[in-house]
Amino acid sequence: MMDLFGNLLLGLGISLSPGNLMLCFGGVLIGTLIGVLPGIGPTATVAMLLPLTFYLPPVGALIMLAGIFYGSQYGGSATAILVNLPGESSSVVTCLDGHAMARQGKAGVALATAALASLFAGIVTTLVIAVAGPPLAGVALAFGPAEYVSLMLLGLIGAVTLAHGSIMKAIAMILLGLLLSMVGTDVNSGETRFTFGLPQLYDGIDFVPLAMGLFGLTEIITSLEQTGGAGRTTAPISTLWPSRQDVRKAGPAAVRGTVLGTLLGILPGGGATLASFAAYSLEKKLSRRPDRFGRGAIEGVASPEAANNAAAQACFIPMLSLGIPPNAIMALMIGAMTIHGITPGPQIMAKQPELFWGMIASMLVGNVILVILNLPMIGLWVRLLKVPYGYLFPAILVFCCIGTYTLNNSTFNVVLMALFGILGYVLRKLDCEPAPLMLGFVLGPMLEENLGRALLLSGGDLTVFATRPISGSLLAACAILLALMVLPSVRRRRDEAFKED
């Protein structure tokens, strides 16, 4: 226990240093700024803002990225409440009661509730990460290649089950991501694969043009398609502070949401969406007057927002301690670490404690900054929402282009980004999700390496994955997840959970 506090103090010392505090503040501010823009979810925001962190020291870069992530998450909730437009599926539920409150003139209360519930969830989850991370990393140190293969499979299959839409298509997207990660020179044989003879591809596809194209450009194209560059109508804001009655209702709801979100968030697949939906239905079940939901019930804002934030942050646990990203945003984080020459995994905690604990402590700091920053600035975000998209998207476009170029000073990467923008749009039109693709892309090299190594160690014996105890149980978990998905009753309930209306 003392160890934990010592470590947290070490982390706080790092994250409260003036430079890092500024970065955290800047990240939260810019993240909220971009995240507030209609239709741009946290994944797209983090992808677009990645280049800002290229030139920072690794700790600072990760602190800033984490700040961008919370900011964009909160910005998305603000858009959901004010304009009834969710930036990502995890804030769909917030729209229901949040926007209903806004229409009753209680937009300020809804925004404040969302911020405070997220703050509470964020603090609790940060402590959970600090407690659960090290033991989990200890377990991970005992992992051999076979265990890693099974763990990655579990993560990928978890991502599929929690994605919405067709499971077959989601698996195909993972495979496509794995395939894209094969491009370049094979580390073992030195042979080039899928390079089309282009020397620019010998080092493989860079992660930034892929993420920017699939998420950034596709997002711009889709937003233009949906709104054509017109502005959105926003709800007016009057009172900001929740009344005492509001607090009495919202407080317990936020606690329940936090617990649910943390539990669901640790699961592979990163259940922020699932968590917010589950929290909403739990509140509705517990309420004595379920008919109020959908008409501005404050519990319907507090609980899903807390769950959403708790789950989103709990995703850091598998990412930091195992080096396995449970969802697309964590895949982006791992990509950012790789750019800075950090190999994510259990060894980070032992070898670079200042990085690990600095980042965890900065989550505490970031969540506090988020609330301090946002309560007075709600009016500004409302005004930002009125800026016509015709002015905003060229700015975003410029930022994406220069950001991608500066990664390697290569215009080839900009061309790649344009191509992935087209691919992303085509995939959206075919209802194939880009998030599993991103996961596959990040895990590809690790999966190939560990698969080859596990087979080498076992002399080509495929049963090794099932007979080693940890690996076997992970595979059994995969099988159970897949089997559950095929059961008609579970399928129906999953379809209901992801029904967006």
Partner 1 sequence: MPSAPLPDLSTAPASISSVSPPASVRNDGAASPGRLPGRSPQDLAAGLLIAAFGLGALWMGRNWPTGTLAAVESGFFPRMLGVLLVLFGTATAGRGLLAAGPGLSAWAWRPLIGVTVAVLAFAATLESLGLVAAVLLLVGLGNLAGQPLRPVPLLALGGALAFGCIALFVWGLGLPLQVWPPQVLP
List the interface residues with partner 1, window 469-498 (CB under 8 A).
none
CB of 162 to partner 1, least distance (A): 8
Closest to partner 1 by CB, 59 vs 171, is 171
Closest to partner 1 by CB, 89 vs 367, is 89
Under rule CB under 8 A, residue 206 binds partner 1: no
Closest to partner 1 by CB, 5 vs 194, is 194
Interaction mask 380-399, partner 1, x per CB under 8 A: ---------xxx-xxx-xx-
Under rule CB under 8 A, residue 92 binds partner 1: yes
CB of 428 to partner 1, least distance (A): 5
Under rule CB under 8 A, residue 197 binds partner 1: no
Under rule CB under 8 A, residue 140 binds partner 1: no
Stretch that binds partner 1, among 58-66, 130-138, 283-291, 322-330 (CB under 8 A): 322-330
CB of 233 to partner 1, least distance (A): 6
**φ/ψ (deg, to 5) at 106:** -105, 35
CA 442 and chain centroid, separation: 14
Query: For the chain, how are helix, strand and coil distributed in percent, rounded to 5?
Result: 75, 0, 20
CB of 192 to partner 1, least distance (A): 9
Task: Give CA torsion, residues 45, 303, 439, 53, to 10 deg.
Answer: 30
Rounded-to-integer distance, Cα 321 and Cα 151, Å: 13
Interaction mask 22-61, partner 1, x per CB under 8 A: ----------------x--xxxx----------x------
- Tokens standing for 277? 């939906």
CB of 284 to partner 1, least distance (A): 19
**C-beta atoms surrounding 343 within 10 Å:** 12
Under rule CB under 8 A, residue 258 binds partner 1: no
What is the phi-psi region of residue 340: left when phi exceeds 0, alpha when psi lies from -120 to 50, beta otherwise? alpha
CB of 231 to partner 1, least distance (A): 8
Mark 254-280 as b/e (b = at least 16 C-beta within 10 Å).
Answer: bbbbbbbbbbbbbbbbbbbbbbbbbbb
Under rule CB under 8 A, residue 172 binds partner 1: yes
Q: Which of residues 439-468 bind partner 1 (CB under 8 A)?
A: 448, 451-452, 455-456, 458-462
Under rule CB under 8 A, residue 10 binds partner 1: no
Closest to partner 1 by CB, 169 vs 340, is 169
Under rule CB under 8 A, residue 434 binds partner 1: yes
Which of 104, 135, 141, 186 binds partner 1 (CB under 8 A)? It is 186
Stretch that binds partner 1, among 345-353, 363-371, 404-412, 488-496 (CB under 8 A): 404-412
Closest to partner 1 by CB, 142 vs 168, is 168
CA 452 and chain centroid, separation: 30
Task: Give CA torsion, residues 482, 125, 258, 79, to 10 deg.
Answer: -90
Under rule CB under 8 A, residue 19 binds partner 1: no
**φ/ψ (deg, to 5) at 193:** -130, 140
Closest to partner 1 by CB, 341 vs 459, is 459
Which of 220, 278, 282, 324 binds partner 1 (CB under 8 A)? It is 220
- Tokens standing for 392? 């905003």
Q: How many CA atoms lie within 13 A of 112 on its CB side?
A: 18
Rounded-to-integer distance, Cα 261 and Cα 265, Å: 6
**φ/ψ (deg, to 5) at 198:** -90, 120
Q: How many CA atoms lie within 13 A of 393 on its CB side?
A: 21
- Tokens standing for 482? 């897949």
Under rule CB under 8 A, residue 431 binds partner 1: yes
Closest to partner 1 by CB, 193 vs 492, is 193
Q: Which of residues 266-305 bind partner 1 (CB under 8 A)?
A: 270, 272-273
Which of 66, 163, 205, 333 binds partner 1 (CB under 8 A)? It is 163
Rounded-to-integer distance, Cα 116 and Cα 124, Å: 12
CB of 496 to partner 1, least distance (A): 16
Q: Are 45 and 219 in contact (CB under 8 A)?
A: no
Which of 148, 405, 441, 465 binds partner 1 (CB under 8 A)? It is 405
Under rule CB under 8 A, residue 232 binds partner 1: yes
Stretch that binds partner 1, among 60-68, 112-120, 280-288, 416-424 (CB under 8 A): 416-424
Amino acid at 440: G
Q: Which of residues 348-377 bind partner 1 (CB under 8 A)?
A: none
Residue identified by tokens 């923008």 is 421
112 CB contacts (<8 Å, ≥6 apart)? Answer: 240, 241, 242, 375
Report how many residues bind partner 1 under the rule CB under 8 A. 101
- Tokens standing for 137? 């990393």
Q: Are 24 and 365 in contact (CB under 8 A)?
A: yes
Closest to partner 1 by CB, 372 vs 455, is 455
CB of 52 to partner 1, least distance (A): 9
- Tokens standing for 402? 């220069």
Under rule CB under 8 A, residue 102 binds partner 1: no
Positive or negative: CA dihedral 174, 179, 185, 186: positive
443 CB contacts (<8 Å, ≥6 apart)? Answer: 152, 155, 156, 177, 178, 181, 324, 325, 331
Under rule CB under 8 A, residue 89 binds partner 1: yes
CB of 288 to partner 1, least distance (A): 28
